[in-house]
Amino acid sequence: MDGVNTTQATRPRAASRRWVIVLFVALLAAAITPVLFRQMRPRDLPASTVLLASVAPTGDAVDVLLTQPIWSEIRGDGESGLTAEARAVRLGAAIAELEVRRRRADPTVPARIADVVRLLQTFPDSEDAVRAFQSLRADDSALQTASDLAERTAGRRAVRLGGWLQSARFAAATEDSSVFDRSAISGVSLAAITYDARPEMEHAVRQFEDIARARPRNWVALGTAVDELLRLLGTR
């Protein structure tokens, strides 16, 4: 009888220990996953000129989006407070917006080229890229060449990350799923968490992944999640 009582008494304790172990493992995994995630090599994303080829540059949704910049305008020395990666992300986003406006024959294209040039000039050895953008005309191949020079100047991965996110804003606004393939979603998440280790970035990445992979897609929520990633990456 005593033996039975002892066995029965130890069962709750054993179960309790198992739950403690499970909880500890879960907490440990949550703590180290972002660290391991950041040590992985980010996927090389497509250039925004390639991404935007299938995205319609016109329509009410695009019109509205072009009036809603992610960041307030920074002029002159204000950009010195940003990291090189944040400026590169902004540069990629500016190039993507320029591509959309060029495809729309937007009269503000010269002003957008000036924005790209201003960002480029915050990087050393940017003269060739600056000249390439200043000499842009309607030739698509010239824009690609100028974009390649911008990537070499500011860093390919960060520029393409900004370009992907800006392109994704327009894709979400027009409900175009071509940008949101699974490998790109994973690549963007990995790149974002690699560049920015802040807790709010980890939260924004998880939210973006959950929304981007959900079916059917909530395009408004997806656009908002992309906006938040881009905003955070460009304000460090």
Residues 6+ apart with CB under 8 A from 109: 98, 101, 102
Query: Does the pLDDT at position 187 exceed 80?
Result: yes
Reading the block at residue 22, the tokens are 């499970």
The predicted pLDDT at position 37 comes to: 45
- pLDDT digits over 55-88, tens only? 989 999 999 999 999 998 655 445 668 999 999 9
Tell me: the pLDDT tens digits for 23-44?
A: 655 555 555 545 444 444 556 7
Whether 154 has a pLDDT exceeding 60, the answer reads yes
pLDDT at 160 over 70: yes
Residue 127 confidence class, pLDDT cut points 50, 70, 90: very high
* pLDDT value of residue 81: 86
2-37 burial, b at 16+ Cβ within 10 Å, e below that, comes to: eeeeeeeeeeeeeeeeeeeeeeeeeeeeeeeebeeb
pLDDT of residue 44: 78
Identify the pLDDT of residue 15: 60
The pTM of this model reads 0.81
Residue with the bigger pLDDT between 176 and 40: it is 176
- The per-type count for the chain, helices as H runs and strands as E runs, is 11, 0
Is residue 148 within 8 Å of residue 168, measured between CB atoms?
Answer: no
Average pLDDT, the chain: 86
Does 101 score more than 80 pLDDT? yes
Residue-level pLDDT at 36:
46
Domain boundaries, the chain: 48-233
Confidence class of residue 231 from pLDDT cuts 50, 70 and 90? very high
